[in-house]
Amino acid sequence: MLDFIYYPVSWILWFWHRVFGFVFGADNGASWALAVVFLVFTLRLVLYKPFVRQVRTTKQMQELQPQIKELQKKYKNDRQKMATEMQKLQKENGFNPLMGCLPILAQVPVFLGLFHVLRSFNRTGHGIGQLGMNAYDNAHTPNYVFSAVDVQSFLSARIFGAPISAFITAPVSELQAFADWGGVPSKLSIAIVAIPLMVIASIATHFNARASVARQTPEAAANPQAAIMNKLALWVFPLGVLVGGPFLPIAILLYWVSNNIWTYGQQHLVFGRMEQEEEAKKQAKLDLRSQNAPKPGAKPVDTRKKPQQPADEPEATEEAASTNGSAPAAKPAAKASGKNGQKRPGGQKRPANRGRANQKRRR
């Protein structure tokens, strides 16, 4: 049913086993262990860009927390209006909540696919997803893209005496499948390899969550939902690795450890680049401000537009001209004689009806 997941996972695992099998030998446990580790690295490399988008989305969501709180407070009695305004806010800021969980969702089917493919190297169990084969039929039946020879090579591979597909709580009947291919492993040899991997995976999960929580803004950390998720990531998930570790094959524990190691390094790389981008933006703003600032000793230039003076205020125009050291512009003849008459050279106004009276006397 999930062959579209199982076959790609098998192909990637097969490729890396061929690469490291050429160096260490096909039946060497290191070849199979490194194939699992580089399967993780291949997946995480493909998901690098979505991971960067996830980090940016998370950071953007933290920056929008004050506005989100205002909307929640404003529309606390109107859920529909709140949802509409939230979608509008997300659209205006180019925020896509799906990008925040896409890398995690993409890893889930790969984890399940790897778990199924690894279990399919030993199909002698009778639990869910097992076929109940006998040891001979299991060793001579292909496993997806792996041939029967590859299945036998996997059963023969050991890490410090433990098969990488074995787990601590495996029934004795399932361990009998390794009898003709390196001998039946003991529970002690499996625990010696599995328990340190469980502890390392748990600690790595905790420190990755701790690094993410430390980068949260105070507003985001104060959110009740975020506080609950932080506690789950810091304590419950690492504890879950310890509790579920005895039920997981050694190869899955290798997957978990290598995945956390990649995540830790990738987080520091991505967050370091984002901090450099923020510093570059701040520096660009400072440079732009310094370019617009006046030079030392220079008088600041007022770039604001001066209001235009009305046409019926000639005195203000003359005063402005005298202060600037230039002669006032000649006034048009049509404006020189207004309703109140002409001005004398001394600045006094002439009576408006003086000229008319003289004309009457001359007549």
Three-class SS string for 300-323? CCCCCCCCCCCCCCHHHHHHHHHH
- Banded model confidence at residue 56, pLDDT cuts 50, 70, 90: confident
| Residue 84 · residue 94 · CB < 8 Å | no
pLDDT at 230: 84
| Mean pLDDT, residues 258-283 taken together | 84
Average pLDDT over the chain, rounded to whole? 79
Two tokens at 125? 């169990």
User: In this predicted model, what pLDDT tens digit does every residue of 156-212 receive, in sequence order?
Assistant: 999 998 999 899 998 888 888 898 888 899 999 999 999 999 999 999 999 988 888
The DSSP letter of residue 97 is: G
Alpha carbon 60 to chain centroid, angstroms: 9
pLDDT at 311: 53
| Residue 253 · residue 202 · CB < 8 Å | no
What's the rounded Cα separation, in Å, for the pair 184 and 200? 26
pLDDT at 295: 65
pLDDT at 290: 77
Two tokens at 40? 């993780």
| Mean pLDDT, residues 97-121 taken together | 77
pTM above 0.85, yes or no: no
